[in-house]
Structure 1
Amino acid sequence: MKLYFQDFQTPLGEMCAVATQDTLVMLSFKDSKDYPTTIQKLKKRGSLTRVSHHPIIAQIASELTAYFYGECSIFKTPTRYLTGTSFQQSVWEALQQLKIGSTVNYSHIAHMIERPQSTRAVATAIGHNPLSIIVPCHRVIRKDGQLGGFNSGLYRKKQLLKHEARIKTTIS
């Protein structure tokens, strides 16, 4: 399988996008904790080629620009999971149901996937999310209201939540 990647800047730092011919399979901040691991997993699935232009990567880069300008609240770039167990993928799919500007706790996600006793496993799965921002793991906080962890840094989680609170008020 051929995989194509490109790096680009966002207001919150440099990101890397990886795509097949027709779907986005990874979107990550380059300094996130899981970035090297996800790249290695993708290398096992196919060859990675740096490109200067790819239509899927151009689409997500454009949508992210609109998102950071407060003009986009739903991402339409086609995605697919090439990494993760079926459990992890079910968690990531549940995350995509979360509305912009909202937050839930890890237990809520466990209930969404009908695995209420799996809160810790849900938290672990969230930490391995291969599609940062568009699979909104930043919207999950601890039961006590604290932010909890974030693979790409708590300062980014704070900024994303603050940004989405502003977007929510403009689209409501």
Structure 2
Amino acid sequence: MNPRVLLPRLVQTVRPSPLGPVLLAAGPQGLSGIWFVGQQHFPDPADWTHDDAHPVLHEAHAQLTAYFEGDLQTFDLPLQFVEGTPFQQAVWRALQNIPFGHTTTYGDIAQRIGNPQAVRAVGAAIGRNPWSVVVPCHRVVGANGSLTGYAGGLDRKEHLLALEARMNSPIR
């Protein structure tokens, strides 16, 4: 018999973004997730409390808005891991080190976490990243530079990379 894992009580809200509505969730220690509504691996928030005024959710939405408006390059939000294996969490932490406006490959992430043979597992972990945009999984591309995989859809990934390229350009 598997003991039931008790997750911390989460609060959530849905907010607009230029790429469609996003579900934001927070626990007692910080932001627990940001997902585009309807994306792959979308959580079931049925047991989560709705709270539009929660300070972490409010700040997350404010920072997302500033990012989409071209006024923010680095997110400063406390993240609370409520799921994920140690391997997945290592991948998600490695994603946080990809500089704004740059891309890297799945193989590079596998190298960074000390497991160069785990390229496919890295891809699967990236696909389950619970912090869309904030933990920049959209900055990971195929070994040949192709846009491969994004739980929020390749059209969103392409938009995010183009936004960062414009923001990183000396001429805006």
User: Fold conserved (TM > 0.5)?
Assistant: yes
* Pairing of 1:101-112 with structure 2 (within 5 A): 101-112=101-112
Cα distance in 1, alignment partners of residues 19 and 156 from structure 2? 7
- Cα distance, 1:125 vs structure 2: 0.2
Structure 2 residue aligned with 1:129:
129
Measured after TM superposition, the shift of residue 53 of structure 1 is: 1.1
Residues 52 and 58 in structure 2, CA contact (< 8 A), matched pair in contact too: no
**Counterparts of 1:136 and 1:64 in 2: how far apart (Å)?**
12
Separation in structure 1 between the aligned mates of residue 101 and residue 37 of structure 2, nearest angstrom: 25
What value does the CA root-mean-square deviation take over the aligned residues?
Answer: 1.5
Structure 2 distance, partners of 1:27, 1:128, is: 11
130-139 vs 47-56, which moves further: 47-56
Secondary structure of the residue that 1:13 maps to in structure 2?
A: coil
Q: Which residue of 2 aligns with 1:32?
A: 39
**Structure 1 residue 145 displacement after superposition:** 1.4
The runs of 4+ residues in structure 1 deviating greater than 4 Å are none
Q: How far does the alpha carbon of each residue in 1:62-92 deviate from its partner, in whole angstroms, 9 at most, with x for none?
A: 0011001111011111111111100000000
Distance 1:113 1:165 in 2: 26
Name 1:155's counterpart in structure 2. 155
Secondary structure, counterpart of 2:44 in structure 1: helix
Q: Percent identity?
A: 39
Task: Specify every segment of 5 or more residues in structure 2 that has no aligned partner in the other structure, as ranges.
Answer: 1-7
Say which SS state the counterpart of residue 161 (structure 2) adopts: helix
Q: Which is helix-richer, 1 or 2?
A: 1
Q: Which of the numbers 8, 27, 34 marks the counterpart of 1:20?
A: 27
Distance 1:71 1:121, change over 3 A: same
Shift of 1:22: 3.9
1:22·1:56 contact (CA, 8 Å) conserved in 2?
no
